[in-house]
A = this chain, B = another copy of it.
Amino acid sequence: MASAATRDDDLPARVRELPSWMLSRAHLRAHQLLVENLQAVGFRGYHYRLLAALEEFGPASQAVLGQRTFIDRSDVVTALDELSTRGFVNRSPDTADRRRNVITITPEGTAQLLTLDEVIAQVQDDLLSALSPAERARFLVLLTRVQAEHLGRTPSTRGE
């Protein structure tokens, strides 16, 4: 194999120590775990967020659901198509304002949400497995503040 030297997982120091890099890697892993585990039971992250919003806040229009879940209005359409096809939500015209649909979670949807809660909890546990309970708490406090600082500053989530 001539020039050898194929053993090198070393990132450049510049990159290795970058907060944004570490966030990117941690997020990538969290995302992989979520996709894997939700896919195994036939769902996506959007489904979980929508069912959670419906269960916690009650029936809502698609525009409001988009605001509550940080999902774009056009992606809300698709995700609700999938959920209603499988009987986890109902979609009916709002008689008071006929531009809107009223989305309601079904008993099957509520039951399914409880199952998904467990899947999600396992993912969190796996994700943070390197930290003790006390360290997890400290980490979450700091991460919460980092993220909260930028809440309004993101371009995203139209329909607001």
Interface of A toward B, CB cutoff 8 Å: 2-3, 5-6, 8-15, 18-20, 22-34, 48-49, 52-53, 55-57, 63-64, 67-70, 94, 96-97, 100, 117, 120, 123-124, 127-131, 135-136, 138-140, 142-150, 153-156
Say yes or no: B64 contacts A15, CB within 8 Å: no
Provide the bound-state CA to CA distance between A30 and B27, in Å: 11
Say yes or no: A8 contacts B146, CB within 8 Å: no
| SS class, residues of chain A in contact with chain B | helix
Say yes or no: A135 contacts B142, CB within 8 Å: yes
Say yes or no: B143 contacts A22, CB within 8 Å: yes
Q: Choose one: B28, B69, B153; the contact of A15 (CB below 8 Å).
A: B69
- Report if A128-B19 is in contact (Cβ < 8 Å); known contacts: A55-B12, A147-B26: yes
**Taking each of A8, A63, A124, which has the highest tally of chain B beta carbons within 10 Å of its own beta carbon?**
A8
Distance in angstroms from A84 CB to nearest chain B CB is 19
Q: List the B residue with the shortest CB-CB distance to A11.
A: B68
Say yes or no: A67 contacts B146, CB within 8 Å: no
Say yes or no: A153 contacts B19, CB within 8 Å: no
Provide the bound-state CA to CA distance between A34 and B10, in Å: 22
Q: List the B residue with the shortest CB-CB distance to A155.
A: B32
Say yes or no: A117 contacts B14, CB within 8 Å: yes
Provide the bound-state CA to CA distance between A3 and B143, in Å: 36
Distance in angstroms from A5 CB to nearest chain B CB is 7
